[in-house]
Amino acid sequence: MVSNICVFLVIVSIIATPILLLVSLIKWIRKKPVKKILLSALFSFCTIFVCSFIGALSMMPDSSNNANFEDDVISQQEDDRQNEEENICEHLWVETSREEPTEEEQGISYQKCEVCGETRRWFIPKIEHVVTFDEIYREYKSNELRADDKYKNNRYEITATINEMATGGLLNWSGGATLTMETTVDNTIVFFYASFEKEQEEALKSIDVGDEITFEGECLSAGTWIECELILSLIHI
For residues 28 and 41, the answer to whether their CB atoms sit within 8 Å is no
For residues 118 and 107, the answer to whether their CB atoms sit within 8 Å is no
Tell me what pLDDT residue 8 has: 59
**Ranges of the chain whose pLDDT falls below 70:** 1-10, 12-25, 27-75, 78-87, 168-174, 233-237
For residues 135 and 183, the answer to whether their CB atoms sit within 8 Å is no
pLDDT tens per residue across span 22-71: 666 676 566 666 566 556 656 655 665 566 656 665 666 555 455 455 66
3-state secondary structure of 83: helix
> Which residue in 9, 36, 33 sits closest to 20, CA to CA?
36
CATH classification for the domain delimited by 133-235, as one of 3.50.50.60, 3.40.718.10, 2.40.50.140, 3.40.50.20: 2.40.50.140
Alpha-carbon distance values, 164 to 36, 218, 231 (Å): 142, 20, 18
Question: Which runs of consecutive H residues, i.e. helices, occur in the chain?
Answer: 2-29, 35-59, 63-87, 133-142, 144-151, 201-204
Alpha-carbon distance values, 186 to 51, 133, 134, 192, 224 (Å): 110, 12, 8, 16, 20
Contacts of 120 (CB under 8 A, 6+ apart): 93, 111, 113
Percent over 90 (pLDDT), the chain: 45
Exposed (0-12), middle (13-18) or buried (19+): which is 213, by Cβ within 10 Å? buried
Exposed (0-12), middle (13-18) or buried (19+): which is 178, by Cβ within 10 Å? buried
Tell me what pLDDT residue 76 has: 72
**CA 96 from centre of chain:** 21
